[in-house]
Amino acid sequence: MTNQSSKIELLSELIWREMDGNAVVVSPRDGKVRVLNEVGTFIWQLLSEEAPPAEIVTHLVETYEVSVLQAEQDLDKFINDLVARGILKYN
């Protein structure tokens, strides 16, 4: 799992809004628009509140009734994908 003490930040230049239950994220730097699904939006909201990975895993388990292992794997995949796309960063 992503280091539980890792701090993950949304890039400050991003603009995002929730529309119809999905987060719409716009990167002014490259003009790309990304739409997150329901679970991605749930994680995004927690990240915007500066929740640490361990807390996000707990919320995923409670909300979506998945195992801790599944929540950790899904969170890792989500975070690593958005870090690779330049939307999130480790601090």
Question: Tell me: the pLDDT tens digits for 28-80?
Answer: 888 899 999 999 999 999 999 999 999 999 999 999 999 999 999 999 999 99
What is the strand order of the sheet 15-19 is part of?
15-19, 22-27, 32-35
- CA dist 66 to 5, 46, 74, 89, Å? 22, 17, 10, 26
The whole-number pLDDT of residue 2 equals 58
Domain ranges of the chain: 8-90
Architecture of domain 8-90: Alpha-Beta Complex (3.90)
Q: What is the pLDDT of residues 9-42, one digit of tens each?
A: 898 899 999 999 999 999 888 889 999 999 999 9
Helix (H, G, I), strand (E, B) or coil at 26: strand
